[in-house]
Structure 1
Amino acid sequence: MQAAAVATALGILLWAEAGRSAGDEAREAAAVRALAERLLGPRRAADFAVSVERALAAESGLDTYSLSGGGAARVRVRGSSGVAAAAGLHRYLRDFCGCHVAWSGSQLHLPHPLPAVPEELTEATPHRYRYYQNVCTQSYSFVWWDWARWEQEIDWMALNGINLALAWSGQEAIWQRVYLALGLTQSEVDEYFTGPAFLAWGRMGNLHTWAGPLPRSWHLKQLYLQHRILDRMRSFGMTPVLPAFAGHVPKAVTRVFPHINVTQLGSWGHFNCSYSCSFLLAPEDPMFPLIGSLFLRELTREFGTDHVYGADTFNEMQPPSSEPSYLAAATAAVFEAMIAVDPDAVWLLQGWLFQHQPQFWGPSQVKAVLNAVPRGRLLVLDLFAENQPVYTRTASFQGQPFIWCMLHNFGGNHGLFGALEAVNRGPAAARLFPNSTMVGTGIAPEGISQNEVVYALMAELGWRKEPVPDLEAWVTSFAGRRYGVAHPDAGAAWRLLLRSVYNCSGDACRGHNRSPLVRRPSLQLNTTVWYNRSDVFEAWRLLLKATPTLASSPAFRYDLLDVTRQAVQELVSLYYEEARTAYLHKELATLLRAGGVLAYELLPALDRVLATDSRFLLGSWLEQARAAAASEAEAQLYEQNSRFQLTLWGPEGNILDYANKQLAGLVAQYYSPRWQLFLEALADSLARGVPFQQRLFDKLVFRLEQAFVLSSRRYPTQPQGDTVDLAQKIFLKYFPRKVAGSL
């Protein structure tokens, strides 16, 4: 019964394997060989013989790789696709050579000669798809990337077996062509687009205008990037997902077509209608298929197509009607506009709307959407399945195929966090669900380059038929590969992290850092965590103990900094609790002491240790934005986009600190001044015997926050100081004073 359900759900999704030729095999093999050279260098890459052979997947129809050879001979890597061959190469490097590939850097100390594969190892994935990205990732992490950084990411995707991914760069240039062809003026188009750091929400209809306009050079560069991104993805045999028309239009369309039937939706994210309240075209209006087909025709003429398109009509926005007939019509209109241009179109839908507003999306409403598209032509992302799966309450999305996704991170926050047990068990449980229509796994964070252990596990699960049997052993091996040598103290540290910060369950697992450190100060901040802080402090101690052996490992130094950052974050919470209690008990001396440590010792120390690594520098973050510009005026616009996203998000702090990060410079010039002002206000309140007024403080602190965003101050782009030395100094100062009492 279950096999029949999956087969029915797949429908025409088998398009991805159809029509590929021997020429494609040769191209994909060449792409993997080029990846190996970029990763290992030409000399060591020559030790691998890579081929792509579709016949490997003949039996299962699923991506398959085979490993053999080594020792005195070359290692033979065969894959049914370029992605499968790259995944096989990664498997060999990881499991036979003890290597590690990650965003923060790679450990690639290959033995010589290469270890032999005792007997041919053949692995087929249990999933047709391994998906990657969230629409928001494009803004929180990718926004300022050049081709060199995109090339690294696509290599990482291939090595981790990703074969389905968003490719949404350059779409505003296509929309501009469409809008101008429809009669809008250039100024109306410019007014509609958001700035670069907020395009994700413009694309989903949540925002318009804010932090724009987009310069002409932006469109040209993004078109160039998109062509290179698509060419490289396709060279590996990946399926890029292109955007499609979801029904949102600029207000200016009503000037050109005064009788057009549109509905203004409600505001989003605490923005007013100056920047939100998008206009949604009625599904029955004849302009709907016209605009949708104009866009898709122009898009595919420019970029070609792999027949999968993403569109989100009601992302975090309540539809104008809960009537199932309306919801079905709105959904059908989007799909019909796709197939008018591409009869083979498959719609990739983020299932976040069903999770985000469960009170609106009852059984009738969900069913109306899912049944409005032919079975197998809607591919749903169960976006937050590790925490709040939707497939379990929608009868496996009413029989539509779905991908079990791990969202994990919101806003690209720093902060050690994960639900590794839930992630480990989730995909296998979804496959075993009655009449399951699961067809893949997905990695869908809002922001990347954090908590790499979580993504290593999720990528591995895309090729596993069962959960990892022993996560303690797995995480210990992870640490050994990451540092290039197994170390008992490092392994013990990671096991402590596994049972604490990486063992989240229940409502706490939102993947969003709510530490007081990165929140606008108040007396109501929540310091509750789901783990024992003593485990974090002990892991910190053990990593420092391992430094004589591991300090030469770049990955170890990165992790030591990250765990030190987390330990300081925990200390901030403890000193905040002490200061708040002192204020409530009217103990001025204790308030001054605890507050002084928090604002004038801990935060400056955190800023100094963050400054030792370029990946934790505000200057590096802002320089990426400036480097994407073609003029000084554009550089200022892009830098301000980046500053707003990190802090206020909107002009009035509309989504305040959502995308918080702990960066050197940001701690010193944004978080520290806020805490100093807050603690001074509390002390003044006690000294004068008057109540602390949060509203007045919020007005005062907003001036500080706004001043940071509007500032043109430059920050270092090169690291300063030594991570190990500064981490040890913080440890020696605070472990006896505050930490020891919590162990």
Structure 2
Amino acid sequence: MAVWPRAAAMAALPVSVLLSVLMPVLVSVSVLPVSVLAALPAELRVPAGDARQEAAVRALSRRLLGSRAAAVSLFVDSALSPGGPDTYRLRSPPGGAVSVSVTGSSGVAAAAGLYRYLRDSCGCHVSWSALQLNLPDPLPRIRTEIRVTTPNRFRFYQNVCAHSYSFPWWGWERWEREIDWMALSGINVAPAFAGQEAIWQRVYRAMGLNQSDIDAHFTGPAFLAWNRMGNLHGWAGPLPRAWHLQQLYLQYRIVERMRSLGMLTVLPAFTGHVPPGILRVFPRINATRLGNWSHFDCTLSCSYLLSPEEPMFQVIGTLFLKELIKEFGTDHIYSADTFNEMSPPSSDPAYLAGISSAVFRAMTGADPDARWLMQGWLFQHQPTFWQPPQVQAVLRAVPLGRMIVLDLFAESKPVYEWTESFYGQPFIWCMLHNFGGNHGLFGAVEAINHGPFVARRFPNSTMVGTGLVPEGIEQNDVVYELMNELGWSHEPLDLPLWVSRYAQRRYGAPNAAASAAWQLLLRSVYNCTGACVNHNRSPLVRRPSLHMDTQLWYNASDVYEAWRLLLSAGPALGSSPAFRYDVADVTRQALQQLVGDFYQRIRDSFQRRALPELLAAGGVLLYDLLPELDALLGSQRLFLLGRVLQDARSRATSEREAQQYELNARNQVTLWGPSGNILDYANKQLSGLVLDYYGVRWSLFVSLLVECLNTGSPFHQEQFNQAVFQVERGFVYNEKRYPATPVGDTLEIARKIFLKYHPGAAQHGRDGPP
């Protein structure tokens, strides 16, 4: 270990001298074996040229199409769009074994052109839930050349929170599939955040923090997103050494693959938050303790934020970024969010400008060509604080063009409209869509079909791209397919026509009933207007009370009819995995609606003191409807709690780590904190969770209502909350194992449920849907 200079002496040194002293120390505190460092691919250090991108997109084609990839020629030629937006060209060369030739100005453009051909000419579909690659033989030829240039410089993907809600347990196999999907979707900018805690640990150790300081700072893997933004520390941690090694290995492969396809990687930068251990090493450091975040107290939140004038701001920020760049190279775009859902200690524009300037200077201290990518969530999340002077102070403290703002919730609450297009800074029009990775059919298709084009026409618009920024993925494939197509479109799409073609591609064959079902879904659950939020508040996934909201933004009968129509298409489409998934998802949505209906009956019966009716409604809910829903979800891989828990445990190198990771996964989808701090925010409708978590607390709720009627006593919500918390906590710490592979036939289960519960089932006869 290198000799650590005395803290008092260090504090007195200029920033440049501090950096020169600390950089050599980092080598001695690396958490990586030398052999791993030596294995870092040289390609990370150099930009991907046309040849490398061409090789990468051809490899993607082989992974996707197997031997059929030989009939598709793929080329990358940056001269196709020199210095401009991405372009792809499709044509069929005369004669020969090649059916189509795809040329892109980048690897991503070529991949997007490939998917355009597979989608429109071959009737194929690629999504999170399923692949439909029933290719014609031979592959069809294109009659006339197709050339498409995107209207946007950027197509961005990922939300900071998704790295904890959806990505934390991924290995390379899953990441490879995701990056392939990103390329086929035309995504060309995305964060690469894995492994940063290993670099931070290296930096903190070099600065004199001990391992106890660091262990008390990092959260567990399922909560790292909020540790990185300064919201939380310590909860569900610490991070094992094996975790750091795994994440560094993943990061090497992620950035190499993304760059090889021509994507720009966004690396993390210093936000100004520091662990309390810094104050122990540097007791005179100028830092302010912020208030608590959400419903956490200061034992796990209330982070320390350095003053913008504090010299250590630049030392720490530059040191971290230099070490990160040395490890992974850079594409010169960095992410930092200092005030995510936290009130700054001052509303003085001068202070806010100082913080913004300090963050940016720490970036340019390591990379003079740095560009700052900032989430614009804070501006709409706390609009009373972020008035125009405060917003302008943050944005204009950075030279124009050196910051890119993600207008994170633009489909519902665009910020560019009231900030004069972010006061001149470039911005990306983003669709947030999903909160917490919740399940539930949802979309705002009219808003996303027109919003980007309206934003581009806004006076003095600085819009430079479109983005997908869900907090959680692997849900509502249709919305993301639409948004990806809009990223390459110059005008809104004909939505009814588009969704009919979507259904045909997704299932591999035209079907009138399936198309009609999707038209109903498009006009109802997928067309929320106004300030719509896909944060599932169904009574099913909420702690029960007598004051739950059951209001829907759509006509429930449209979902019931879409359910019937889809099931009627079963004989023709039942072999399609995507179809079977959609049947499960639409049936799940219908049962979610029915849970709301049964809840209303339970509540109304209690208020009327009608015990028989309460027992009848509660009995059906507890002993039939929820078990049927659990069985349905158990027939589909993406709806299995056991899969999630198995993925979490698979990251472990010991039983102790496995238990910690499983606790992380269980807590996130339930209590979200030690005491239900953000209860049910990340709710999921998963087999196992429905019966053993939602079902058990609904059973307690109904039992207590029955007891109240029998004894003539009132229902006390606070007493129920205390009792049900023990149930919820018991689930989190339970060691019960759940199936990680599907069980049962989705269509048979859904048909059985339909005959029992569809409001119009009796009209369709004993044989079920026609």
Q: Unaligned regions of 5+ residues in structure 2, if any?
A: 1-44, 765-770
Q: Which of 543, 556, 560 lines up with 2:583 in the alignment?
A: 560
CA contact (8 A) 1:612 1:722 kept: yes
**Which residue among 177, 183, 186 is the counterpart of 1:161?**
186
Aligned-residue offset at 1:22: 11
Cα distance in 2 for partners of 1:670, 1:611 equals 15
Check 1:739–1:210 CA distance in 2 against 1; reply closer, same or farther (3 A cut).
farther
Partner of 2:500: 476
2:514 to 474, 490, 501: 490
CA deviation profile, 1:319-361 (whole Å, cap 9, x unmatched): 0000000000000000001101100000000000001000000
The aligned residue for residue 343 of structure 2 is: 318
In 1, Cα distance between equivalents of 2:134 and 2:379: 46
1:682 and 1:72, CA in 2 relative to 1: closer, same or farther beyond 3 A?
farther
User: 1:137·1:447 contact (CA, 8 Å) conserved in 2?
Assistant: yes
CA contact (8 A) 1:544 1:560 kept: yes
Counterpart code for 2:515 = G
Structure 1 residues 589-598 or 355-364, which shifts more?
Answer: 589-598
Give the corresponding residue for 1:599: 622
Report the equivalent of 1:272.
297
One-letter code aligned to 2:390:
Q
Is the contact between residue 288 and residue 305 of structure 2 (CA under 8 Å) also seen in structure 1? yes
Does the C-alpha gap of structure 1 residues 21 and 201 become closer, same or farther in structure 2, counting only changes over 3 Å? Answer: closer
Is the aligned partner of 1:50 residue 2:50? no
Q: Which letter maps to 1:483?
A: Y
Asked if 1:223 corresponds to 2:248, the answer is yes
1:357 is aligned to 2:389: no
1:383 aligns to 2:385 (yes or no) = no
Distance 1:21 1:205, change over 3 A: closer
Distance in 2, matches of 1:132 and 1:171, equals: 19
CA distance in 2, matches of 1:109, 1:520: 44
Q: What residue is the counterpart of 2:475 in the other structure?
A: 450
Q: For the residues of structure 2 that align with 1:341 and 1:540, how far apart are their CA atoms?
A: 56
**Runs of 4 or more consecutive aligned structure 1 residues displaced over 3 Å after TM superposition:** 20-23, 70-73, 736-741
> Quick check: 1:70–1:117 contact (8 Å CA) kept in 2?
no
Question: Offset at 1:740?
Answer: 7.9
Identity %: 64
Corresponding residue of 1:675: 698
Partner of 2:674: 651
- The alignment yields a C-alpha RMSD, in angstroms, of 1.4
**Residue in structure 1 matching 2:165, options 125, 140, 144:** 140
Cα distance between partner residues in 2 of 1:736 and 1:597 = 15
User: Which position in structure 1 is the counterpart of 2:442?
Assistant: 417
User: Contact between 1:66 and 1:79, CA under 8 Å: does it hold in 2?
Assistant: yes
Q: Which amino acid aligns with 1:522?
A: S
Asked whether the 8 Å contact 2:560–2:759 carries over to 1, the reply is no
Aligned-partner Cα distance in 2 for 1:456–1:89: 15
8 Å CA contact retained: 2:48, 2:259: no
Per-residue deviation, residues 474-527 of structure 1 (Å, max 9, x unmatched): 1111010000001000000000001110010123x1111110000000001100
Q: Secondary structure at the match of 1:505?
A: coil
Secondary structure of 2:294's match? coil
Shift in Å, 1:84: 0.4
Q: Tell me, what secondary structure is at the counterpart of 1:218?
A: helix
2:751 to 728, 733, 739: 728
Name 1:688's counterpart in structure 2.
711
Q: Give the counterpart of 2:684 among 658, 661, 676.
A: 661
Cα distance, 1:614 vs. partner? 1.7
AA of the residue aligned to 1:45: A
Cα distance, 1:736 vs structure 2: 4.7
Could you tell me how far 1:21 is from its partner in structure 2?
Answer: 10
Deviation at 1:57, TM superposition (A): 0.3
Aligned to 1:7: none
SS of 1:408's equivalent in the other structure is coil
CA contact (8 A) 1:537 1:739 kept: no
Residue 291 (str. 1) matches residue 291 (str. 2): no
State whether structure 2 residue 631 is matched by structure 1 residue 608.
Answer: yes
C-alpha contact 1:293 1:341 (8 A) present in aligned 2? yes
Separation in structure 2 between the aligned mates of residue 70 and residue 140 of structure 1, nearest angstrom:
45
Per-residue CA deviations over 1:550-602 (Å, capped at 9, x if unaligned) read 10000000000000110100000011111111111111111111111112111
Residues 1:93 and 2:107 are matched in the alignment = no
Residue 312 (structure 1) shift: 0.3
Aligned residue identity for 1:53: D
- Partners of 2:140 and 2:468 lie apart in 1 by 31
Show CA shifts across 1:618-648 (max 9, x none).
Answer: 1111000000111110000000000000100
Q: Does the 8 Å contact 2:541/2:694 carry over to 1?
A: yes
- SS at structure 1 position matched to 2:305: strand
1:105: how far off? Answer: 1.5
Q: Structure 1 residue 244 and structure 2 residue 269: aligned?
A: yes
Residue 72 of structure 1: how far off its partner (Å): 4.8
Question: How far, CA to CA, are the matches of 2:289 and 2:48 in structure 1?
Answer: 50
SS in 2 for 1:506: coil
Matched, 1:525 2:548: yes
Q: Is the 8 A contact 1:57 1:80 kept in 2?
A: yes
Distance (whole Å) between structure 2 residues aligned to residue 690 and residue 21 of structure 1: 73
Q: Distance in 1 between matches of 2:703 and 2:603?
A: 12
User: Residue 512 in 1 paired to residue 527 in 2?
Assistant: no
Cα separation, 2, equivalents of 1:718 and 1:368: 52
- For residues 132 and 325 of structure 2, the distance between their equivalents in structure 1, rounded to whole angstroms, comes to 40
* Alpha carbons of structure 1 residues 190 and 478: separation in structure 2 relative to 1, 3 Å: same
**Alignment correspondent of 1:10:** none
Residue pair 2:755, 2:761 contacting (<8 A) in 1 also:
no
State the distance in 2 between where 1:735 and 1:529 align: 18
- Write the letter of the residue equivalent to 2:701: F
Contact kept in structure 2, 1:172 and 1:219, CA below 8 Å: yes
Q: Which deviations, in whole Å up to 9, do the C-alpha atoms of 1:333-391 show, x marking residues without a partner?
A: 00001101100000000000001000000010001011000000000000000000000
TM-score, normalization by structure 2: 0.92
| Residue of 555, 572, 582 corresponding to 2:595 | 572
Is contact 1:241-1:309 (8 Å) kept? yes
Question: Equivalents in 2 of 1:235, 1:98: separation in Å?
Answer: 28
